[in-house]
């Protein structure tokens, strides 16, 4: 059993742990972003303290206006807006990654908390479990 699975089992005993999912990949070139999002949705059932971090190319997952008809791939960007209904409200975006890509928070499709690298690293270090995609 992986460490993450054991941590999920600990929830059965009523222990709430801090889980952070780290998203570092752009949405369609690889399957990581979609798979990561599905894991987050599934894990929401375990009532843990979940946060999502978007850094490096992961910030591209949240860009408004994605239209995937032409590449015949499912556009999963609207699903990020469903996270709130799953009680996943801690979305952290690294400021340096946004700036390097010429993006601003108002160009993203969900409300997020933009923070500098140092602050993001500090939050990462507070976690019980960090899972990266």
The binding site for other proteins (CB under 8 A) comprises 25-30, 38, 41-42, 44-45, 56-57, 60, 63-71, 73-79, 81-82, 85-86, 99-103
Residue 6 C-beta: closest distance to other proteins, Å: 19
User: Residue 66 or residue 127: which is nearer to other proteins going by CB?
Assistant: 66
* DSSP-derived secondary structure for 117-132: HHHHHHHHHT-SEEEE
Residue with tokens 């999502």: 52
User: Residue 107 or residue 127: which is nearer to other proteins going by CB?
Assistant: 107
Residue 49 C-beta: closest distance to other proteins, Å: 17
Can you tell me the distance from the alpha carbon of 5 to that of 11, in angstroms, rounded to the nearest whole number?
10
Residue 54 C-beta: closest distance to other proteins, Å: 13
Q: Quote the tokens at residue 121.
A: 């690293």
User: Residue 14 or residue 85: which is nearer to other proteins going by CB?
Assistant: 85
User: Residue 9 or residue 126: which is nearer to other proteins going by CB?
Assistant: 9
């Amino acid at each position: 059993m992986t460490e993450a699975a054991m941590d999920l089992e600990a929830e059965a005993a009523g222990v709430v742990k801090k889980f952070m999912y780290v998203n570092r990949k752009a949405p369609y070139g690889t399957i990581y972003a979609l798979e990561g999002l599905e894991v987050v949705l599934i894990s929401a059932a375990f009532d843990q303290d979940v946060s999502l971090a978007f850094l490096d190319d992961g910030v591209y997952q949240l860009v408004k206006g994605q239209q995937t008809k032409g590449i015949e791939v499912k556009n999963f960007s609207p699903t990020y807006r469903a996270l709130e209904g799953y009680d996943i409200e801690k979305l952290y975006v690294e400021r340096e990654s946004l700036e390097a890509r010429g993006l601003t928070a108002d160009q993203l499709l969900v409300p997020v908390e933009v923070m500098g690298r140092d602050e993001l690293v500090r939050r990462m270090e507070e976690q019980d479990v960090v899972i990266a995609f």
